[in-house]
Amino acid sequence: MNRYILRFFQISFVWLMPSFLSGGALVAQIIPIQTAKQALVLQVNTNKNLGIIYFGKRLGNEAEYALASTQYKQAGDYTGIYNSAYTPAGSRNLLEPAISVTHADGNNSLDLVYVSHGQKKVAEEVTLDSILLKDPVYQFDVTLYYKSYYNEDVVEQWSAISQHEKGPVQLHKFASANLYLKAGSFWLRQYHGDWAREMQPEEAKLTHGIKTLDTKLGTRANLFQPSVFMVSLDKPATEDEGQVLFAGTEWSGNFRTDLELDPQNNLRILSGINNYASTYSLKPGEIFVTPAFWYSFSADGKGQASRNVQNWARNYKLLDGKGDRLTLLNNWESTFFDFNEQKLKELLQDTKKLGVDLFLLDDGWFANKYPRNDDHAGLGDWDENKAKLPNGIGTLVKEATDNGVKFGIWIEPEMVNPKSELYEKHPDWVIKQPKRDEYYFRNQLVLDLSNPDVQNYVYGIVDHLFIKNPQLAYIKWDCNAVIYNAYSAHLKNQSALYIDYVRGLYEVLKRIRAKYPAVPMMLCSGGGGRVDYGALQYFTEYWPSDNTDPMERIFIQWEYSYFYPAIASSNHVTDWGKQSIKFRTDVAMMGKLGFDIVVDHLGEKDLAFCQQAVKQYNGMKQTIWHGDQYRLSSPWEASVASMLYVAANKGVAYQFNYLVNNRYDEGSKLPIRLKGLDSSRNYRISEVNLYPGVQSSVAGDKIYSGDFLMNIGFNPDVRKGRESVILKIEAQ
Ligand code: DGJ
Per-residue pLDDT tens for 654-710?
999 999 999 999 999 999 999 999 999 999 999 999 999 999 999 988 999 999 999
Average pLDDT, the chain: 96
The secondary structure of the chain in percent helix, strand, coil, rounded to multiples of 5, reads: 25, 30, 45
524 within ligand 1 shell (Cβ under 6 A): yes
Q: Measured from the CA of 546, which atom of ligand 1 is nearest?
A: 3
Return the half-sphere exposure (C-beta side, CA atoms, 13 A cut-off) of residue 128: 11
Show Cβ contacts of residue 677 under 8 Å, excluding neighbours closer than 6 positions. 646, 650, 653, 683, 706, 709, 710, 729
Q: Report which protein residue has its CA nearest ligand 1's atom 11.
A: 363
Q: Report which protein residue has its CA nearest ligand 1's atom 1.
A: 526
Q: Which pLDDT score is estimated for 703? A: 97
Q: How far is CA 161 from CA 122, 143, 411, in A?
A: 21, 7, 36
Task: Using most ligand atoms within 8 A of CB, pick from 414, 441, 521, 546 the residue to mutate for ligand 1.
Answer: 546
Q: Report which protein residue has its CA nearest ligand 1's atom 2.
A: 526
Quote the CA–CA distance of 385 and 469 in Å, as a whole number. 16
Q: How far is CA 444 from CA 254, 380, 455, 480, 543, in A?
A: 20, 10, 18, 8, 21
Quote the CA–CA distance of 150 and 140 in Å, as a whole number. 32
Task: Using most ligand atoms within 8 A of CB, pick from 197, 524, 556 the residue to mutate for ligand 1.
Answer: 524
410 within ligand 1 shell (Cβ under 6 A): yes
Beta bridge partners of 233: 186, 243
Show Cβ contacts of residue 369 under 8 Å, excluding neighbours closer than 6 positions. 381, 420, 421
Secondary structure (DSSP) of 10-22: HHHHHHT--TTTT
Q: How far is CA 568 from CA 442, 593, 626, 643, in A?
A: 26, 10, 11, 16
Region 269-274: mean pLDDT is 98
135 within ligand 1 shell (Cβ under 6 A): no
Per-residue pLDDT tens for 493-526?
999 999 999 999 999 999 999 999 999 999 999 9
Task: Using most ligand atoms within 8 A of CB, pick from 194, 363, 442, 545 the residue to mutate for ligand 1.
Answer: 363
Give φ, ψ of 313 to 5 degrees: -60, -45
Q: Measured from the CA of 525, which atom of ligand 1 is nearest?
A: 3
Residue whose C-alpha is closest to residue 162's, from 282, 9, 273: 282
412 within ligand 1 shell (Cβ under 6 A): no
Quote the CA–CA distance of 485 and 552 in Å, as a whole number. 34
Per-residue pLDDT tens for 70-112?
999 999 999 999 999 999 999 999 999 999 999 999 999 999 9
Percent of the chain topping pLDDT 70:
96
**Residue 463 pLDDT exceeds 90:** yes
547 within ligand 1 shell (Cβ under 6 A): no
For the CA atoms of 190, 192, 197, 200, the dihedral, rounded to the nearest 10 degrees, stands at: -20
Per-residue pLDDT tens for 36-62?
999 999 999 999 999 999 999 999 999
Report how far ligand 1's centroid is from the alpha carbon of 294 (Å): 29
* 454-473 as b/e: b if 16+ CB within 10 A: bbebbbebbeebeeebeebb
Report how far ligand 1's centroid is from the alpha carbon of 478 (Å): 7
Q: Which pLDDT score is estimated for 154? A: 98
Quote the CA–CA distance of 42 and 61 in Å, as a whole number. 15
Region 599-621: mean pLDDT is 98
Q: Which pLDDT score is estimated for 6? A: 37
Q: Which pLDDT score is estimated for 12? A: 34
* Contact (CB, 8 A) for 414 and 458: yes
538 within ligand 1 shell (Cβ under 6 A): no
Q: Report which protein residue has its CA nearest ligand 1's atom 3.
A: 526
Quote the CA–CA distance of 482 and 224 in Å, as a whole number. 11
Report how far ligand 1's centroid is from the alpha carbon of 538 (Å): 19
Q: Which pLDDT score is estimated for 84? A: 98
Q: Taking the mean position of all CA atoms in its chain, how far away is CA 54?
A: 27
* Contact (CB, 8 A) for 454 and 414: no
Q: Report which protein residue has its CA nearest ligand 1's atom 10.
A: 363
326 within ligand 1 shell (Cβ under 6 A): no
* Angle between helical axes of 452-468 and 392-402 (0-180°, round to 10): 50
Give the SS3 label for residue 403.
coil
Per-residue pLDDT tens for 305-318?
999 999 999 999 99
Find the helix or strand (DSSP H, E) in which 605 lies.
Answer: helix 604-626
Give φ, ψ of 569 to 5 degrees: -95, 105
Region 553-567: mean pLDDT is 98
Quote the CA–CA distance of 182 and 466 in Å, as a whole number. 53
Report how far ligand 1's centroid is from the alpha carbon of 525 (Å): 8
Q: How far is CA 93 from CA 11, 54, 88, 172, 210, in A?
A: 29, 20, 7, 16, 16
Task: Using most ligand atoms within 8 A of CB, pick from 195, 362, 543, 547 the residue to mutate for ligand 1.
Answer: 362
Report how far ligand 1's centroid is from the alpha carbon of 12 (Å): 57
Quote the CA–CA distance of 441 and 450 in Å, as a whole number. 20
Residue whose C-alpha is closest to residue 299's, from 55, 63, 633, 67: 55
Per-residue pLDDT tens for 526-536?
999 999 999 99
User: Given pLDDT bands bounded at 50, 70 and 90, which one contains residue 28?
Assistant: low
Per-residue pLDDT tens for 1-27?
344 433 433 333 333 343 333 333 444
Q: Report which protein residue has its CA nearest ligand 1's atom 9.
A: 526
399 within ligand 1 shell (Cβ under 6 A): no
**Global confidence as pTM:** 0.96
559 within ligand 1 shell (Cβ under 6 A): no
596 within ligand 1 shell (Cβ under 6 A): no
Helix, strand counts (H, E) of the chain: 12, 36
Quote the CA–CA distance of 545 and 145 in Å, as a whole number. 34
Region 599-620: mean pLDDT is 98
Report how far ligand 1's centroid is from the alpha carbon of 545 (Å): 10
Region 400-424: mean pLDDT is 98
Q: How far is CA 6 from CA 32, 61, 149, in A?
A: 12, 11, 18
- Please tell me what DSSP assigns to residue 435: T
Find the helix or strand (DSSP H, E) in which 39 lies.
Answer: strand 38-44
Percent of the chain topping pLDDT 90:
96
Q: Which pLDDT score is estimated for 253? A: 98
Q: Which domains does the chain have, with CATH numbers?
A: 81-305 (2.70.98.60), 328-412+448-479+493-627 (3.20.20.70), 629-731 (2.60.40.1180)
Residue whose C-alpha is closest to residue 86's, from 78, 95, 77: 95
Report how far ligand 1's centroid is from the alpha carbon of 464 (Å): 22
Report how far ligand 1's centroid is from the alpha carbon of 407 (Å): 17
Show Cβ contacts of residue 409 under 8 Å, excluding neighbours closer than 6 positions. 360, 361, 365, 393, 465, 472, 474, 475, 476
